[in-house]
Amino acid sequence: MLETIGGVVGFLVYAYLLYRQNKIMEEQNDLMREQGGAARRMANERTWIDTRWPMLAMAALTLVTWSAVGYDYYDRHKDLDLVALSRPSVIKNWGPVPPPGTSQSGLFPMDQLAFVEVVADGHALLSYADRFHVAAMAFHYDGTVDEDDVKPLKSNTFDIRDADMEIRIPVGGQYRNELLMGFKVTNYALMLLPKEVSVLEFDTIRQAKALGARVLYKAAGPP
């Protein structure tokens, strides 16, 4: 919306400056026709700035406009090295969260599973903390649709901090039913979400990307 308003305002200013330049040229032509040599002397007395200020203003406006566009692109893409962020160490651990009273390495019935989690390396993400939150997702994938069209389980969003971040993802009945149906591998991933975006605004990975999310390293494992 702001870009549209800015474009309209810029066009109106540009049109006005073009109009003023044309009026100045018309006035000069009229004077020259009506007064002959006197008009030429009057025109010569006008300074270079007097006759060309609209053109200078249009050039300045164009420069400012393209500078703003360039800075916006730079600000949205600076330092976002997805190759570096796709390395395995960005996700330090992943898997099921044992129910209370169960040891970390102990077995438990899948119908008691309430959370899976991703442990993110917050230190590796610190340079994005001013623009992004971090979130995690988990999903089973059977190859029947594009992976970006899967509806993953999603965590809440978290502020990025300089620490190992345990991000828990709540699971529901459908996920547990899929385990009973034979799914043995869960896909895990981290997302950088623009701070103005909520996880409630999208259902699929493709929709998240359309809102500016960056999907980082993916891992796979039980349950």
- Please report which confidence band the pLDDT of residue 79 belongs to, taking 50, 70 and 90 as the band edges: very low
- Please report which confidence band the pLDDT of residue 36 belongs to, taking 50, 70 and 90 as the band edges: low
- Contact call for residues 196 and 217 (beta carbons, < 8 A): no
- Contact call for residues 39 and 5 (beta carbons, < 8 A): no
CB-neighbour burial class of residue 166 (10 A; exposed 0-12, middle 13-18, buried 19+): middle
State how far the alpha carbon of 22 is from the alpha carbons of 13, 16, 31, 173, in Å: 14, 10, 14, 72
- Please give the single-letter amino acid code of residue 71: Y
Is 70 exceeded by the pLDDT of residue 207?
A: yes
| Predicted TM-score (pTM) of this structure | 0.62
At 40 the pLDDT is 53
Q: What is the pLDDT of residues 165-205, one digit of tens each?
A: 999 999 998 998 888 888 889 999 999 999 999 999 999 99
At 115 the pLDDT is 95
Q: Which of 3-17, 87-101, 207-221 has the highest mean pLDDT?
A: 207-221
Rounded Cα distance, 49 and 194, in Å: 46
DSSP line for 56-118 = HHHHHHHHHHHHHHHHHHHHHHTT--HHHHTSGGGEEEEEEEPPTTS-TT----GGG--EEEE
Q: Average pLDDT of 82-109?
A: 74
DSSP line for 126-182 = GGGTTTEEEEEEEE---SSS-GGG---EE---B---SSEEEEEEE--HHHHHHHHHT
At 138 the pLDDT is 96
- Please report which confidence band the pLDDT of residue 20 belongs to, taking 50, 70 and 90 as the band edges: low
Q: Average pLDDT of 40-67?
A: 62
Q: What is the pLDDT of residues 101-156, one digit of tens each?
A: 776 656 778 788 899 999 999 999 999 999 999 999 999 998 899 999 999 999 99
- Delimit the domains of the chain by residue range: 2-77, 82-221
At 74 the pLDDT is 46
At 110 the pLDDT is 79
CB-neighbour burial class of residue 103 (10 A; exposed 0-12, middle 13-18, buried 19+): exposed
Percent of the chain with pLDDT over 70: 60
Token pair recorded at residue 144: 């029947």
Q: Average pLDDT of 15-21?
A: 63
Q: What are phi and psi of 186, to 5 degrees?
A: -110, 135
Rounded Cα distance, 54 and 20, in Å: 7
Q: Which residue has the higher pLDDT, 166 or 26?
A: 166
Q: Which of 11-25, 85-99, 200-214 has the highest mean pLDDT?
A: 200-214
CA count, 13 A, side-chain hemisphere, 209: 10
